[in-house]
């Protein structure tokens, strides 16, 4: 299992999260999706497939520590909890960065850039990171 394989799967997950987040109303507390707004079944199925395949591949590798947060992210995605989906993936990226620092896994500069890119994409989804809302609620 190479870092690129893991990052490809994470990129797919980030893409599904971004698609889902784009469909939510802009001024909603994103800790809980409003009633009736959950990811479409095909998005959930794709997300589930990506997580399931990745979890199967990382068994017995240094990446096996990523299984729990990946499952946590999947469960949150299925129930429409955006923050609960994003936070475990940020944890996965942090764990991967630490594994690189500790030399448990090898990464090229391109791999580290991808980790940073995915981290930025996920953080943009979090509340407080939406420039269009900066002036909302002002006098």
The position carrying tokens 């909302």 is: 136
Question: pTM for the whole thing?
Answer: 0.82
The pLDDT score that the predictor gives to residue 59 is 87
Structural domain spans, the chain: 3-128
The pLDDT score that the predictor gives to residue 127 is 72
Within 8 A by CB and 6+ apart from 30, the residues are: 21, 24, 82, 83, 125, 126, 127
CB 47 within 8 A of CB 79: no
Segments of the chain with pLDDT less than 70? 25-36, 128-139
The pLDDT score that the predictor gives to residue 138 is 39
Residues in the chain, how many? Answer: 139
Tell me the pLDDT tens digit for each residue of 105-122. 999 999 999 999 999 999
The pLDDT score that the predictor gives to residue 51 is 95
């Amino acid at each position: 299992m190479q870092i690129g394989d893991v990052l490809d799967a994470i990129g797919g997950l980030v893409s599904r999260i971004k698609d889902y987040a784009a469909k939510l109303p802009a001024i909603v507390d994103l800790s809980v999706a409003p009633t009736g707004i959950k990811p479409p079944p095909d998005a959930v199925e794709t997300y589930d497939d990506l997580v399931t395949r990745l979890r199967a591949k990382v068994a017995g590798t240094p990446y096996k520590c990523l299984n729990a947060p990946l499952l946590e992210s999947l469960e949150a995605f299925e129930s429409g909890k955006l923050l609960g989906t994003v936070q475990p993936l940020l944890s996965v990226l942090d764990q991967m960065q630490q594994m690189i620092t500790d030399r448990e896994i090898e990464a090229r500069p391109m791999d580290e850039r991808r980790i940073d890119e995915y981290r930025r994409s996920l953080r943009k989804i979090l509340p407080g990171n939406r420039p269009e809302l900066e002036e909302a609620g002002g006098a």
